[in-house]
Amino acid sequence: MKSRLGWAPYALLVPSLAFLVVFFATPMVQAFTLAFQDPDGAFSMASVERMLRDASFRNALVTTLALVVLVIPIQFALAMAMALIINARLRGQGMWLYIYALPLGISELAAGIVWVSIFTQTGWLNSILEGLGIIDRPITWQSAETPLLLIMCVVIAEAWRATSIIMIILVAGLQSIPREYLEAADVYGATTWQRIRRVVLPMLRPSLQVALILRTILAFQVFATVIAIAGSGLDVLAGEAQRWATDIDNDHVAAAYAGLILVLSLVSTVLFLVLLPTREEHQA
**Dihedral, CA atoms, 157, 159, 164, 169, nearest 10 degrees?**
150
- Residue with Cβ nearer another protein (145 or 183): 145
Interface with another protein by CB under 8 A: which range of 100-108, 188-196, 228-236, 272-280? 228-236
* 232 is a site residue for another protein (CB under 8 A): yes
Please select the residue that binds another protein; options are 111, 230, 261, 262, rule is CB under 8 A: 230
Interface stretch with another protein, choices 92-100, 120-128, 194-202, 259-267 (CB under 8 A): 120-128
Chain positions 242 to 261 lying near another protein, rule: CB under 8 A, are 243, 245-250
227 contacts another protein (rule: CB under 8 A): yes
Binding mask 39-78 for another protein (x = CB under 8 A): ----------------xx----------------------
If one asks whether residue 278 binds another protein (CB under 8 A), the answer comes out as: no
What single DSSP character describes residue 236? -
CA-nearest of 214, 212, 206, 213 to 173 is 206
Residue 257: φ, ψ to 5°: -60, -45
Specify whether the CB–CB gap between 112 and 224 falls below 8 A: yes
Task: Tell me which residue of 131, 166, 113, 149 sits closest to 233, measured CA to CA.
Answer: 149
Least distance to another protein, CB of residue 241, Å: 12
Q: Give the binding range for another protein (CB under 8 A) out of 26-34, 67-75, 94-102, 115-123.
A: 115-123
If one asks whether residue 161 binds another protein (CB under 8 A), the answer comes out as: no
d(CA 260, CA 239): 13
Minimum CB separation from another protein for residue 263, in Å? 24
Q: Which of 146, 265, 269, 278 binds another protein (CB under 8 A)?
A: 146
Q: Does residue 37 bind another protein (CB under 8 A)? A: no
135 near another protein (CB under 8 A): no
∠ CA 100-104-105, rounded to 5°: 115
Least separation, in Å, of the C-beta of 43 and another protein?
A: 20
Q: Residue 43's beta-bridge partner residues?
A: 37
Q: Is 37 helix (H, G, I), strand (E, B) or coil?
A: strand
For CA atoms 228, 232, 234, 236, give the dihedral sign. Answer: positive
Minimum distance from residue 232 beta carbon to another protein (Å): 5
- CA distances to 10, 13, 175, 221, 231 from 144, in Å: 54, 49, 44, 21, 9
d(CA 25, CA 22): 6
Rule CB under 8 A: say whether 204 interacts with another protein: no
Among residues 143, 265, 269, 278, which is the contact residue for another protein, using CB under 8 A? 143
Counting contacts by CB under 8 A, is residue 30 touching another protein? no
What is the spatial distance between Cα 65 and Cα 265, in angstroms, rounded to a whole number?
A: 11
Q: Which stretch binds another protein (CB under 8 A): 64-72, 177-185, 227-235, 270-278?
A: 227-235
3-class secondary structure, 276 = coil
CB contact at 8 A, 58 and 260: no
- Which residues contribute to the site for another protein (CB under 8 A)? 55-56, 116, 120-122, 137-138, 140, 142-146, 227, 229-233, 239, 243, 245-250
